[in-house]
A and B are shown apart, each in its own frame.
Chain A
Amino acid sequence: MSASIYSNSQFTDSPYGLKLQQTIIASSSSVVIPTGINRVYAVVIGGGGAGSTQTTGGGGGGGAGGYSAGWTYISNSVTIGAGGTGTSTAAAGANGSPSIYGMVFAGGGSGGINGTNGGAGGGATTPTGTTSTVSYTGAPAAGQNVVGYASGGGTSSTAGVSSGGGGGQSGVTGNQTGGAGGRGLIAGGGGAVGTAGLGTGGNGGTGDFYAGGTGSSGTGTSFGGGGGGAGFSGAGSDGSGKNGGNGGDGGGGGGGASTLGTAGSGGRGEVRLYY
């Protein structure tokens, strides 16, 4: 028996049983969809936000890239959002960039804040700061430290589908521990610490498919970088010395850096096509 969604009135928009046919990790204007396929189910993930670094103390982790899924008309072009690039300049981390296929789109994650707070997870569009954005399904934005589809960034590990980055610590003496990135389908990066005492960077958030990176630990300001958050397609990297770990492929948030170390970059976005 054969059936077609175009002649079957009982067809509903279920993706059940669909097969993953393409995973796209770079922008292109030459996506090839087989003849006869007029619409596809797309999973679209934005780039993760970069962590931040600070002159003294530790910066916040970057938020995870947004996650959107749904049916769309076919297109031969696709935009894949890059992760925000981590730097050693004391400033907010760079936001991740959005990804788009057809009419399904997802924002990047916010970079870590210029200070200690982690950045928010991305929704359908890209947030800047600790408050996230509305999701592709319409789930509301979440404020600082609030659970959401795209969760808020801030000081604690805040969970969501796309979670926020963990907060760093401003203290420069004594033992300090950075905040972990939130747990999520895609996860934010860990916050950093920069202290003369024992400093332990926050771990990157744990994802559903991959682990977050481990924060760097040691005595002195040469340590304390946060781990990168888990992406949809790859694990986050460990923090190294005072540098943050990179977010995993598929939108993981970058880890924060301490004392003008280099913050972790966000993981690249991607698009998966099912038909």
Chain B
Amino acid sequence: MQGDTATPFANTHFILPYGLQLRQTINAGTTSVTIPAGITFVYAIAVGGGGAGTNITGGGGAGGVAWGWTIATSSCVVGAGGTTGSGGYTRYGSIIAGGGGGANGAGILGSGGGGYYGSGAAGATNYWGIPGGAGGGSFVTGANGAGGGGGGGSNTTSGTAGSGGNGISGGGGGTVYFGTGASTAGNGGNGLVGGGGGSASTASGSAGGSGGNGINILTGAVFSGGTRVGFSGGGGAGIAGAGAAATSFSAGGAGGLGGGGGGDGTSSHGAGGAGILYLFY
């Protein structure tokens, strides 16, 4: 930590942020932050809340990720995970990341698009202008991007749905909502934050999709997406926690802490993982 009286011409600490320490981890619902006097700029990593799955509709997209230097403030917004749709945005100063799209919902500000039983929804361009991926058509995997596109499925024929696109934030897996013939749902896309898996019809031999993997940015370790159970999908991993497995044959798993997308289910779905905010100074 240092004060606000230095300039680059008399200071050797400008190799940062490598040398910065994680000072605060802020969870959803928190609205105020205390920054020590003299700290004028803070390096922030903001992650939006994950999108929810929706019953027999599609997996939720992962929350967006934004990072960079911002003016220090005492205020923050950390988004909740979606329970029936999109997750909430997260903002600290000028750093802002969008919540993941719910099933069939487009991403915003770097988040993944939701999967669907038709064409998946588009992922979003992020804070730094990195483009999002397009949603996949029926039975097509979503395109990769800052926010991966959602996978496409079908409600008119059986088959194998598309997975969510990979990216910084993965798209949700597609769902197959058709009762005749075995079908396989799409997996959530992988990224720093994973998308939720889709669900499949209850015909014999059908299977849900697994949640996408995420990465613990503090250690580099992989957080696993939740596994499918029966017809329902697992939750995507967040940047701070693994995704939950589907809780039954018919109930999708929740997304992991730090924006994981919720898994789809045939009778109930998983909520998106809550957003998170890291402050370094």
- Chain B nearest Cβ from A183, distance in angstroms: 7
A161 touches B94 (CB 8 A): yes
Question: Does the CB pair B11–A17 fall under 8 Å?
Answer: yes
| Chain B contacts for A134, CB-based, 8 A | 129
User: Contact partner of B73 among A2, A142, A146, A185, CB < 8 A?
Assistant: A185
Tell me the chain A residues, 164-218 only, with Cβ under 8 Å from chain B.
Answer: 183, 185, 208-209
In the bound complex, residues from chain B placing their C-beta under 8 Å from that of A146 are 108
Interchain CA distance A11-B15 in the complex, whole Å = 5
The yes or no answer to B89 lying at the interface (CB within 8 A) is yes
A274 proximity list for chain B (CB < 8 A): 40
Rounded to whole angstroms, the CA-CA distance of A85 and B121 in the bound complex is 41
A161 and B125 contacting across the interface, CB-CB below 8 Å: no
Instruction: With both chains docked as a complex, state the minimum distance between the C-beta of A2 and any C-beta of chain B, in angstroms.
Output: 6
B9 near A3: Cβ-Cβ < 8 Å: yes
A contact residues, range: 35 or more
CB <8 Å contact, A8 and B12 = yes
Residue in chain B with minimal CB distance to A67:
B94
The answer to whether A148 and B69 have CB atoms under 8 Å apart is no
- Closest B residue, CB atoms, query A142: B108
From residue B5, how far is it (CB to closest CB) to chain A in Å? 6
CB pair A139 B4 closer than 8 Å: no
Q: How far is the CB of B86 from chain A (nearest CB, A)?
A: 10
Q: How far is the CA of A71 from the CA of B186 in the complex (A)?
A: 44
Residues in A with CB closer than 8 Å to B9 are: 2-5, 36-37
CB interface residues, A 1-29, toward B, < 8 Å: 1-5, 8, 10-12, 14-20
Question: Known contacts being A139-B96, A139-B129, A149-B109, is A19 close to B16, with CB within 8 Å?
Answer: no
Chain A residues near B5: list those with CB within 8 A: 19
Output the least CB separation between A186 and chain B (Å).
10
Asked whether B129 lies within 8 Å of A138 as measured between CB atoms, the reply is: yes
> Quick one: given A5-B14, A16-B281, are A137 and B129 in contact (CB under 8 Å)?
yes
B156 at the interface (CB under 8 A from A): no
Which chain A residues border B15 with CB–CB below 8 Å? 10-12
* With A137-B128, A147-B109, A275-B7 as contacts: A15 and B41 at CB distance below 8 Å: yes
Residue numbers of A with Cβ under 8 A of B are: 1-5, 8, 10-12, 14-20, 36-37, 43, 67, 69, 134-135, 137-140, 142, 146-149, 159-161, 183, 185, 208-209, 274-275
Q: Which residues of B are in contact with A by a Cβ distance under 8 Å?
A: 2-17, 20, 40-41, 43, 68-71, 73-75, 77, 89, 91, 93-94, 96, 98, 108-109, 124-130, 281
